[in-house]
Structure 1
Amino acid sequence: MFTVVLAGAVVLTSGCSTAVDGTPLADPRATRSSEPSGPVTLTFLTSLNDGYEDLLTEYRSEHSGVTIKVQRTDPGSYYPKLRTMLAAGQPPDLAVVGDEYRADLFGQPGLFADLAEAGPDDVDPKRWLDWKYEGGLGKDDAWFGYGMDSAPIGMAYRTDLFAAAGLPTDPAQVGDLFKSWDAYFAAGDQYTRKTGKPWFDSASEVFTTMQNQLDNPYFDRDDKLVIESNTKLKAGWDAVTGAIGRGQSAKLEPFSPEWFSGFRAGTFATAPAPYWMLNLIKSQAGPENAGKWAVADTFPGGGANWGGSYLVVPKKSPATEQAAALAAWLTAPEQQLRLFESVGAFPSQVDALASTKLRGATDDYFVTKETGRIYADLADKVTVAPYGAPRDSRVQTEAMWPALQAVEHGTPPDAGWQQAVDKAGQLN
């Protein structure tokens, strides 16, 4: 993740209320009057390097009756372990669910406690951006996850490549190129005609970003596959595959060696960049490209999110209310800002996003140095948390992405679409 060092510290106050930048907040440590009293031991399943340890140490010091045992797992085996524990009926008391697994896990009833019932009375959904709160809901609007970090998407671009193609480089003017997807692809046509080089990194990256702007991209609320009837999804497919045919895609597989090296070599001029990708751009583009990359504060289609996480309390935990109280404290604005400072986890709570500590965060690697403000504004522009059915992620990674890559390597767009539809039907 992208690490930003903030000036100053987030001050936590004891007593009945806390504040972010002087704004009083309800006490995130408050618990329901019906919460069981006495000592309790909570197990917290999480992955490595999540940045929670200092926060948990503080929580323990303020709650003498609470013992927290952290079970750390490497990212590759984290979700298989969580699923195994849930299936065995011996879950942790608290766990992290990343946005990429939200569709799978939140779509299954009976796994997690409804935090509207188990959580502290004063935890208002309005603490979060609307789309982040809605992303924590399961079927029948049960509240399964308190939103932790988020990943609003900006459009990263190489200013030197733009200049060489006669395109504007000033962020305000570049924003006009990114005001809609039609404008974005039109600018791509201008770029490829002028340079003969690709405009964007990967069709699957661009298409996934567009898909993240739809309420029901692959399944309806009854978990019925709707790819063939989803005209907005098909319109996105047509736009992206049309751009492939006009030479705009670098045809790189995301996270492949060639994709990584493309940031350094200037293989492409633009790339959708969730907040967590900024550190990747810096490390892969290298110091020789400092001052060349920028991020526009306008994004095609308004806004989108790609990533982030939620804290969940398994329904079979023997201490759901106490675990929910811990989750409420960990996701409060003060703690979100501290994780932003320590590990670059971008906040999702309204007061944290309005904080001058966040909005004043800068990174001199980028032409657009005000990365905190830019991404806070982009987060405000997101309107949708796509509904995810249990098979949603498999349809995306096993049907849509391979079909797009097939088109990038010569399959006609209509045949690629049918390939995606057929494969999705097999997975359904």
Structure 2
Amino acid sequence: MPTARAAARAAVRLGALALAGSLLAACGGASEGAADAAGGKVTITVDLFGSFGYKEAGLYAEYEKLHPNVTIKQTDTEDEADYWKSLQTRLAGGGGLADVQAVEVGRIASVAQQQADKFVDLRKYGADSLKGQFAEAKWAAATGRGGEVLGLGTDVGPEAMCYRTDLLKQAGLPTDRTELAKRWSTWDGYLKLGEQYKAKAPGKSAWLDSVGSLYSVMIGQQKERYYNASGELIWETNPALKTAWNTAVQASEAGLSAKLDQWSPQWNQAFAAGSFATIPCPAWMLGYIKGQAGESGKGKWDVAALPGGAGNWGGSYLAVPRAAKHKKEAYELIKWLTAPEQQAKIFTKQGNFPSSTGAITQIADATDPYFSGAPIGRIFGEAAKAAPVQVLGVHDQNVAQQITNALSEVERKGTAPEKAWENAKKGVANTLG
């Protein structure tokens, strides 16, 4: 849900910060599988960023029905960066951790390479037998240096373009997804169409939500982004990253953006208000749009292929901390949630694209009435097949955050791009130490 996920990511990025509430009060060190006091009942705590769609799709209720002794309680944090910071604090202290913790794909290298001792090696419960259910790259990313299985993959983030058919029609632009895909087959074509939209834009609507989302989806089309295959930090000299930066700056200077920081309250409100006509959308964004735009948005949205080719933005994992109170029960839950049948249900109801190869086959013909009957199974399925296998680095998400922060300065404060780039470099240096 992811970077991610992806991150982030999916139907409704809502909830209290992960430190809040009695849900996470359970500290580590309790005996494995210990039952709650009342009659052998077990309460499994799940801590996520955003919404992975489990509650919305009825999967928790279904699991509790299958396991009458189990109650599932979930907390989530709207912003993944806030979630990760809180998780790091609790991992360092060993307390306040849930039985299940989510990890965005941009953080999984950090877990696998630096924090394997903080999470349960799921091989202890037979996770080895699940390897064949997942895409090879998805499985490998959550494998520690010693072969530890540190998480099970939930989804991946194949990319497309979501758009408001009613706003495009009012601006005199085509609304057919096939025609649009041809018109914006390149990012230059996308920006040119945006300039046409701006000339006749209805109300105060902009062409896209933010240049940060444009950058994020473009960099998701690259195999190497922040690190190379040798684990070296290359973001400053990566020409593909600079192209994504320059395109985002160009969109800002052309006045095509609504200047909204992603995940902010203003950005959330803009979905229902019709403040922008297009938004680059990984599969998990579909559920987010539904949650924010609401029932009144049904039939006004559609999905088309992404400019510039396929890419991936986000995707996540479910892991079990070593300090979890109910390790075995937590494993059984995440094994069930990430099984092909459940991943297929999540995609059908929320849009999160499966990381399970069996689930991908099941959803190939899926359509979504909310998005004007778009063949989302085909669109995102083709994108998933064509997307590059990305090189994941330990600090991917940290670097990405500094770059999108700098782009926000460009579009919202009018900071000169050269100055913003220098600010990004300083931000990365300070973050990485």
TM-score category (smaller protein): 0.7 to 0.9
The residue that corresponds to 1:367 in the other structure is: 372
- Structure 2 contact 44–326 (Cα < 8 Å) conserved: no
- Structure 1 contact 150–345 (Cα < 8 Å) conserved: yes
Counterparts of residues 302-317 of structure 1 (less than 5 Å):
302-314=309-321
Counterparts of residues 257-406 of structure 1 (less than 5 Å):
257-285=265-293, 289-296=297-304, 298-314=305-321, 327-340=334-347, 345-355=352-362, 358-389=363-394, 391-397=395-401, 399-406=402-409
Tell me by how many angstroms 1:115 deviates: 4.9
Give the fraction of aligned pairs with identical amino acids, expressed as a percent: 36
**Larger Rg computed on CA atoms:** 1
Cα distance in 2 for partners of 1:322, 1:124 equals: 20
Structure 2 residue 418 is the aligned partner of structure 1 residue 422: no
Tell me by how many angstroms 1:258 deviates: 3.6
Cα distance in 1 for partners of 2:308, 2:147 equals: 26
Tell me by how many angstroms 1:320 deviates: 7.6
Deviates more, 1:82-91 or 1:333-342: 82-91
Task: Label 1:55 to 1:379 Cα distance change in 2 as closer, same or farther (>3 A).
Answer: farther
Cα distance in 2 for partners of 1:304, 1:361 equals: 20
Task: Label 1:404 to 1:374 Cα distance change in 2 as closer, same or farther (>3 A).
Answer: same
Amino acid corresponding to residue 177 of structure 1 in structure 2 = R
Cα distance in 2 for partners of 1:74, 1:2 equals: 12
Task: Label 1:283 to 1:420 Cα distance change in 2 as closer, same or farther (>3 A).
Answer: same
- Give the gaps of 5 or more residues in structure 1: 4-38, 62-66
Cα distance in 2 for partners of 1:45, 1:144 equals: 18
Tell me by how many angstroms 1:198 deviates: 3.3
Q: SS state of the match for residue 173, structure 2?
A: coil
Structure 2 residue 152 is the aligned partner of structure 1 residue 159: no
- Structure 1 contact 198–249 (Cα < 8 Å) conserved: yes
Q: SS state of the match for residue 168, structure 1?
A: coil
Tell me by how many angstroms 1:289 deviates: 4.8
Counterparts of residues 90-109 of structure 1 (less than 5 Å):
94-99=100-105, 101-109=107-115
Cα distance in 1 for partners of 2:415, 2:61 equals: 51
Q: How many residues align?
A: 383
Structure 2 residue 150 is the aligned partner of structure 1 residue 147: no
Q: Superposition RMSD on alpha carbons, in Å?
A: 3.9
The residue that corresponds to 1:75 in the other structure is: 77
- Structure 2 contact 224–390 (Cα < 8 Å) conserved: no
Counterparts of residues 22-61 of structure 1 (less than 5 Å):
44-47=44-47, 50-51=54-55, 52-54=59-61, 56-57=63-64, 60=67
Cα distance in 2 for partners of 1:403, 1:270 equals: 22
**TM-score, normalisation: structure 2:** 0.72
**TM-score, normalisation: structure 1:** 0.73
The residue that corresponds to 2:247 in the other structure is: 239
- Structure 1 contact 129–350 (Cα < 8 Å) conserved: yes
Q: SS state of the match for residue 199, structure 1?
A: strand
Task: Label 1:190 to 1:103 Cα distance change in 2 as closer, same or farther (>3 A).
Answer: farther
The residue that corresponds to 2:118 in the other structure is: 111
Amino acid corresponding to residue 379 of structure 1 in structure 2 = A
1:234-274 superposed Cα distances (whole Å, 9 cap, x missing partner): 11101110221122222222233443343344432211123
Task: Label 1:121 to 1:189 Cα distance change in 2 as closer, same or farther (>3 A).
Answer: same
- Structure 1 contact 151–274 (Cα < 8 Å) conserved: yes
- Structure 1 contact 359–372 (Cα < 8 Å) conserved: yes
Q: SS state of the match for residue 153, structure 1?
A: strand
Q: Which of 409, 415, 421 is the matching residue for 1:411?
A: 415
Tell me by how many angstroms 1:226 deviates: 2.6
1:323-376 superposed Cα distances (whole Å, 9 cap, x missing partner): 656644442212323444676654221111111xx3444433322443344333
The residue that corresponds to 2:214 in the other structure is: 206
- Structure 1 contact 89–316 (Cα < 8 Å) conserved: yes
Tell me by how many angstroms 1:173 deviates: 1.2
1:253-302 superposed Cα distances (whole Å, 9 cap, x missing partner): 22334433433444322111233333443454455554332111x11343
Structure 2 residue 235 is the aligned partner of structure 1 residue 227: yes
The residue that corresponds to 1:33 in the other structure is: none
Counterparts of residues 111-130 of structure 1 (less than 5 Å):
111-115=118-122, 119-125=126-132, 127-130=133-136
